[in-house]
């Protein structure tokens, strides 16, 4: 039963994360991007802090490493990541944004070379290059398109993926004693402040539009896709491990594309589909050992169940 429960939570997590791309796209019709990104965490951060206070004995930063981790998380994982993601989604579909965003596993090993001193083998380098080729297919850079709004938007989302990759690598180096969920909650609170400062700095208006569409979009992004999704994410980290949990990144683009098509009636173009499979190939090459272990585990599980059915007969 536990395996079915974890599978259900995994699918739920993919759906919630996929919904965020659609919610962002919907809200951006009425809200400035950075202001909207800040609102996401204005709502989610207090809820997660309360959850952390209830569930964790040590739920607030106590050491210098904790504070440094919260600072890195707030700057890279929350402010830079979400700010650039929301800026980018003004001009591209949820499907395209989610595929570009899925480049995190490609970018993280590259950043780890400089930060952690890790080295990439030949196959790893090939995986990175294949993933970047997928980006080229999606962005389709030419002298004419490089100045286009949609191309710049895609580069914003690529920057968001780089932000989350850099933040993740830096946190591995810092290795704070504070638990992951409390750290995420405090990072959200700090990141929300940074996003609002950034919003004011570039002259975004403070919007008080209380229409149903705006309220729905804000609550969709802040509650299901953040406040509810993160506890599920960290629960899965503890039960099935980070490797299997982070495979959700392969499913999110599919969910985002389907929801975007059904809800927003935004078609998925051929370049995005082809680019997704190229990126997936690159990530699969980088994560080949992990995927091989997972496939072996699933095969053995199926064989055990088939054998159990035969025994019952």
With 50 as the cut, is the pLDDT of residue 120 above it?
yes
**Closest alpha carbon to 282 in 88, 13, 299, 274:** 274
pLDDT at residue 243 tops 60: no
Phi, psi of 264 (to 5 degrees): -100, -5
Percent pLDDT > 90 in the chain is: 27
Per-residue pLDDT at 256: 81
Q: Residue 269 — very low, low, confident or very high, per pLDDT cuts 50/70/90?
A: confident
Q: Give how many domains the chain has, as a whole number.
A: 1
pTM for the full model?
0.79
Q: Which domain holds residue 103?
A: 2-312
pLDDT, tens digit, 9 for 90 and up, residues 17-38: 888 888 898 899 889 999 999 9
Q: What is the pLDDT of residues 205-214, one digit of tens each?
A: 887 767 888 8
Q: Are 40 and 245 in contact (CB under 8 A)?
A: no
């Amino acid at each position: 039963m536990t395996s079915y429960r974890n599978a259900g939570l995994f699918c739920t997590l993919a759906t919630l994360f996929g919904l965020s791309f659609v919610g962002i796209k919907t809200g951006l019709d009425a809200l400035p991007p950075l202001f909207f990104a800040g609102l996401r965490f204005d709502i989610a951060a207090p809820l997660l802090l309360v959850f952390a206070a209830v569930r964790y004995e040590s739920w607030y930063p106590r050491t210098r490493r904790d504070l440094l981790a919260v600072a890195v998380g707030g700057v890279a994982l929350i402010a830079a990541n979400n700010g650039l993601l929301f800026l980018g989604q003004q001009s591209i579909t949820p499907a395209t944004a989610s595929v570009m965003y899925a480049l995190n596993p490609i970018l993280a090993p590259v950043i780890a070379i400089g930060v952690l001193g890790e080295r990439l083998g030949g196959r790893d380098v090939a995986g990175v290059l294949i993933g970047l080729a997928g980006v080229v297919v999606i962005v389709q850079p030419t002298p004419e398109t490089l100045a286009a709004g949609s191309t710049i938007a895609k580069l914003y989302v690529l920057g968001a993926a780089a932000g989350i990759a850099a933040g993740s690598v830096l946190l591995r180096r810092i290795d704070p004693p504070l638990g992951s969920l409390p750290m995420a909650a405090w990072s959200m609170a700090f990141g929300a402040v940074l996003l609002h400062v950034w919003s004011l700095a570039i002259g975004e208006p403070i919007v008080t539009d209380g229409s149903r569409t705006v309220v729905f979009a804000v609550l969709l992004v802040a509650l299901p896709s953040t406040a509810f999704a993160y506890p599920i994410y960290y629960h899965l980290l503890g039960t099935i491990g980070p490797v299997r949990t982070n495979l959700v990144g392969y499913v999110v683009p599919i969910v985002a594309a389907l929801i975007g098509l059904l809800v927003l009636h935004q078609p998925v173009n051929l370049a995005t589909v082809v680019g997704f499979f190229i990126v997936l190939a690159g990530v699969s090459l980088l994560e080949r050992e992990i995927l091989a272990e997972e496939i072996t585990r699933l095969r053995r599980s199926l064989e055990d169940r088939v054998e159990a059915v035969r025994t019952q007969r």
